[in-house]
Amino acid sequence: MAINGENNRGKTFPPEVLTLEEVIALLDACSSTSSTGIRNRALIAVYWRAGLRCTEALKLYEKDLNLAENSMRVLKGKGKKFRTVGIDETAVKLIQIWIERRMVLKFTWRNPFFCTVKGEKGKPIDPSYVRHLMPRLAALAGISKRVHAHGLRHTMTGELVMEGSDIALIRDQLGHSNIAITDKYIRKIAPLRLVEEMRERSWREIPKGLE
């Protein structure tokens, strides 16, 4: 992954959560008419609204999606663990548009759900494509933060915390093996609740000039 054209392989950076406006700008940076853009919009939706890891999304097949029930199966998550995750209606709409385009392109259940649309069509997408795609879209969207697939997973987690979701629910959606991992994860990427709590505190007495 690169920031401003630099190679950051092997470097560690603090998590950066995107705002809603930034994620929408990222989606809008993708074409809503080209096959590549339609696919990438659906892929971003899965990273952001389902919280899948980069490779988890790329390993999905059409059989793993149950859009009638707003769910998808992750057959080989981290540690080769299986889980079912939920996804919201707006994200489902973006996914359905990609399904319609897949039909036009004559992709079948044998092709990975998120597959190549140029060159040798219907092949698995290499994770390196996503690593280069996200910073490129961020530049088009005018986002100065470090943008990457896992950062969209961070963003979903931060949103769930601010919405008051139970930590056990967040653990299951993310596919963590235990709540302790989720708690540590949340402490790193979702300080907004702490900020909200501090903001609501009041002074019993106000210094002169601030009344």
- Containing 76, the helix (H) or strand (E) segment is none
Which residues pair with residue 73 across a beta bridge? 84
User: Are 151 and 15 a contacting pair, CB within 8 Å?
Assistant: yes
CATH code for the domain defined by 11-195:
1.10.443.10
Give me the average pLDDT of each 10-residue run along the chain (211 residues): 45 74 97 97 97 95 96 82 93 97 97 96 97 96 94 90 86 87 76 69 77 67
DSSP, collapsed to helix, strand or coil, labels residue 136 as helix
- Model confidence pTM above 0.75: yes
Residue 65 φ then ψ, to 5° = -100, 130
What is the residue type of 158?
Answer: G
Give the alpha-carbon dihedral of 62, 87, 125, 39, to 10 degrees.
90
Q: What's the pLDDT at 3?
A: 43
Q: For residue 15, which of 179, 211, 123, 146 has the smallest C-alpha distance?
A: 146
User: Are 47 and 159 a contacting pair, CB within 8 Å?
Assistant: no
